[in-house]
Chain A
């Protein structure tokens, strides 16, 4: 979330799309009902199903699964065609005025630079024209045909209300009513918020779904403002924290790009990732990259990382390919991965195409599952009849199952989706011999280190030299670890030389010990910090994540002294944009930050240098080298402007926007593995659009182990509209079989008025709804894992699987 949960109460309009906030995040949704009652805010829900969010909404409109960009592109076109954008904001805080390269174009569904064979883009023609001064060329009047604004206008002019209806199935009237309401928030004194979740991410165009919405919020001037933002509601309690810690292959803690095969040394690596301003006076915050990275190396390897050895740069593994989870299971399936450590995760249920996953796990030499509960993954080798039809005798994987604590049985911090770290206390011991995940990882590490010390082996240095300063080596305490990643000065940090007074004697700027801000980090090895974004969370004042002051002097839901919000305890990101170009509040009811003539001040920590006067034109989007937000995003794998592509299993078989280009039916830049393309079904055999989702009564595959939740939603079911039920002669409650090209599930049928066939591209597309929460372990009724059906393909940028749009058939069981 760019904003925070309580801040939702400050909005005038809530759009829920690509998510189902009422069901998935009920306690956060209270700030929606609060806004509706206190601010008279309106709630719009756009979803293939009439959800429980829709039940309390003012306006609901259907959209076909996988057609969100068609809808949102239609909104962009509406805003631009009807002059419903926030001009001052767009000109000053976005790249609308920037000129794009001459070679950039979009033709028949693909952008310039497409390599058909590799399914990737060469992005050389994307991006901005640079002047001789190294800065981007701009046209402040936004009239130049090459400027981002005009390019964007041209790109979306195709997305007419008629096209929205044709592609997304949303009736034109309903679409226009919503577009109009959204457009009203382009007024400087109106703000809209958007709440989304996996309904947008779990598509092969997932990242572009979100970007389209971000573009809308930028056009409306709703980013960085109370009651605004683009708000990902996210999944688990610490999904944000684990993302920030970067437990994935692409990055190191704090989103520092991980070294690649081609980074020959530290200098080349730092050069690749250190930013430089693309416009005058911009903060281009990634200029500080060497400070963050060096401090990380000091936290990990201590004295063994020093100037003489390039701060141990060679210790870091350098990756040669994507190693996201789909790729991991692909490697496993090919027999190229031998060991797998699976912590608090149930991939057999949580990834697509169970058949492939099961076969992949069976090729492992050893599998380690650390979990508080008996997951399906840990028993993938066991026969549960049709629910898991395997023969244990043929599966040679050695499986270890380690009991872990639950949240209640260990202390530590979680980071919520609005970036607030909150400390919790241990309440009781785990039953039996359960241990914290940190202790399990420490024990494995300490044992490995002991063996490498004693017996040697391949490249022992990174292991034996790893900084391990914990009082109990086998069980580092959460407080020790938090202090480590928060960061400290290893020596007294002296003031840097002052060019205005070169004779001045250096004095102690920061005493040795815990640091209070990432601004204090240095690249000379005098600071150690395991995650620069979290720097200061344990400051000299102590553990700030444990703060429990719930006062809110402004009444805007800021709670500045509750826990610790990264970065720098900032509660709304890009908050410079909460004020106009002169530094005044956009509207009187939401006074957040303003320029008082000398500094930026207000109710939150300013996003930029506090002394940057408005006339310096320092942009609010400080992480971008251009200082402004990107409407034209060069960093995307599949195009700088989002385009509608069909799901890989499309009920239409054609992209109505590019009917003559078979290469542009589905996302041209999405990765598809050999053998998986053949597993995709066609509409002739599988005529119904299908989508998987969660229900409010359950949390993934977790609460099926909890009796209370089992009572409230006991057994698997399939949902279809009453129109389809009538057509098929199905009755409510009867057993049905749903088949995709990869597998089948059987469950009871729920027939509802809340799902309707949609008229799309001249035909009626019905949707089959498949809630996911059941499996072959649990205190609920057992059921088929829903991922028996889903396709093994992910988003072109994030590789998040396409769980939300595929094809099935449905018949009597």
Chain B
């Protein structure tokens, strides 16, 4: 893929070409079939040639304990009693949701460090990354991580290299129980609704699809057993890009405390005021 496939990019006021149309893709995670085996974590490490440090046990099954620059996905385990004496062990595969309206991209000041392809993948282009961490703050799902080794941000690429040659992401292919599936966004949306219906029929009354509108929908969706209470599995109920507010707080504070040149300040301010808006306009054109 190259520039003609790019729909939006960070740090740029220029509209993306958006000439080519390729099918929008999506990954669907069916919580009811997930056994928390972590095959997806291992497949991700192996495909992306990443090996995180060997940690320790801190009293939980979540290993590593959190996303890291080398662990782009991980299983999060939740022991919940939704009814009295009814234990549920909910397990959610965490990682980038590839938002249609990506907060990370909007927040990113580095030109071309974050791109969104027309197939929906939001990818980090590390050679352009300046390691500022705004993407971390801009993400409503707390996904990107900054590497101490090279001071750049990393996260799931939805295996953009595999998808580019017509293959599914590594985690999808490996998933032993069919809890992760992959296809066009349209097909996945239809299947997600069907699956949620099947689960409701089976007795999971709160089952539904997690494809939050506040971020324009996502290219990684969930079918949750308790879609009415996504916070049970650590997902925000109504995520939105307005969490950018937190970004401003995070940015203005260091700016205020440092003495910087007026030009630089003006330049930066320009980005802050104009950058994100223009990205939004791009998106409107494409929509």
Contact = CB atoms under 8 A, between A and B. Distances in A.
B35 A710 contact: no
A709 B39 CA distance: 9
Contact of A715 (B37, B55, B61, B91): B55
A697 B45 contact: no
Contacts of B81: 753
Given A56-B35, A708-B51, A715 B56 contact: yes
A55 B91 contact: yes
Contacts of B179: 33
A496 B178 CA distance: 54
A96 B43 CA distance: 51
Contacts of A779: 54
Contacts of A707: 51, 54
Interface in A276-297: none
B132 interface: no
Contact of B59 (A37, A54, A749): A749
A87 B21 CA distance: 64
Interface in B15-39: 32-39
B63 A29 contact: no
B176 A30 contact: yes
A710 B63 CA distance: 9
A747 B56 CA distance: 10
B71 to A, nearest CB: 7
Interface in A683-737: 696-697, 707-717, 732-734
Contacts, number: 121
B57 A716 contact: yes
A69 to B, nearest CB: 26
B172 to A, nearest CB: 13
B63 A714 contact: yes
A714 B198 contact: no
A53 interface: yes
A26 B39 contact: yes
Nearest to A697: B38
Interface in B161-191: 176-179
Contacts of B176: 26-27, 29-30
A748 B58 contact: yes
A397 to B, nearest CB: 32
Contacts of A158: none
A176 B8 CA distance: 59
A53 B34 CA distance: 10
Given A26-B177, A696-B35, A752-B79, A712 B59 contact: no
B46 interface: yes
B89 interface: yes
Nearest to A30: B177
A206 B81 CA distance: 34
A750 B61 contact: yes
A34 interface: yes
A22 B52 contact: no
B249 to A, nearest CB: 33
Given A711-B54, A748-B56, A753 B79 contact: yes
Given A748-B57, A749-B59, 15 more contacts: A23-B35, A26-B37, A29-B176, A30-B178, A50-B87, A52-B35, A56-B35, A696-B36, A707-B54, A708-B45, A711-B41, A714-B57, A732-B59, A734-B59, A753-B81
B258 interface: no
Nearest to B79: A753
B53 to A, nearest CB: 8
B263 interface: no
A411 interface: no
Contacts of A22: 35, 37, 177
Interface in B55-106: 55-61, 63-64, 71, 79, 81, 87-91
Nearest to B39: A26
A56 B204 CA distance: 12
B55 A714 contact: yes
B272 interface: no
Contacts of A734: 59
Nearest to A771: B57
A807 B138 CA distance: 52
Contacts of A52: 35-37, 89, 91
14 contacts: A33-B177, A33-B179, A52-B37, A52-B89, A55-B36, A697-B37, A697-B38, A707-B54, A708-B51, A710-B54, A711-B41, A750-B60, A752-B79, A753-B87
Nearest to A54: B89
Contact of A708 (B36, B46, B56): B46
Interface residues on B, range: 35 or more
Interface in B126-184: 176-179
A50 B80 CA distance: 12
A356 to B, nearest CB: 28
7 tightest A-B contacts by CB?
A733-B59, A26-B176, A732-B59, A22-B35, A55-B89, A715-B57, A748-B57
Nearest to A34: B178
Contacts of A32: 177
Interface residues of A, number: 46
A781 interface: yes
Q: Is the interface of B mostly helix, strand, loop or mixed?
A: loop
B117 to A, nearest CB: 28
Contacts of B88: 55
Contacts of B53: 711
A714 B88 CA distance: 25
Contacts of B41: 711-712
A712 B178 contact: no
B42 interface: yes
A266 interface: no
A710 B45 CA distance: 12
A707 B54 CA distance: 8
Contacts of B46: 708
Interface string A12-43: 00000000001100110110111001001000
A734 B57 CA distance: 10
B206 to A, nearest CB: 16
B192 to A, nearest CB: 14
A734 B41 CA distance: 26
Given A26-B37, A50-B87, A56-B33, A714 B45 contact: no
B217 to A, nearest CB: 25
A711 B50 CA distance: 11
Contacts of B63: 697, 711-714
A53 B33 CA distance: 10
B233 to A, nearest CB: 12
B52 A754 contact: no
A58, A697, A712, A733: residue with the most chain B Cβ atoms closer than 10 Å: A712
A32 B33 CA distance: 10
Contacts of B38: 696-697, 712-713
Contacts of B54: 707, 710-711, 714, 779-781
Contacts of A716: 57
A754 B88 CA distance: 9
Contacts of A754: 79, 87, 89
A22 B52 CA distance: 25
Contacts of A579: none
Interface in A110-131: none
Contact of B34 (A56, A709, A753, A781): A56
Contacts of B90: 55
Contacts of B79: 752-754
Contacts of A29: 35, 176-177
A751 interface: yes
B108 to A, nearest CB: 28
A169 B235 CA distance: 37
Nearest to A747: B57
Contacts of A33: 33, 177-179
Nearest to A26: B176
B62 to A, nearest CB: 10
A805 B51 CA distance: 37
B215 to A, nearest CB: 28
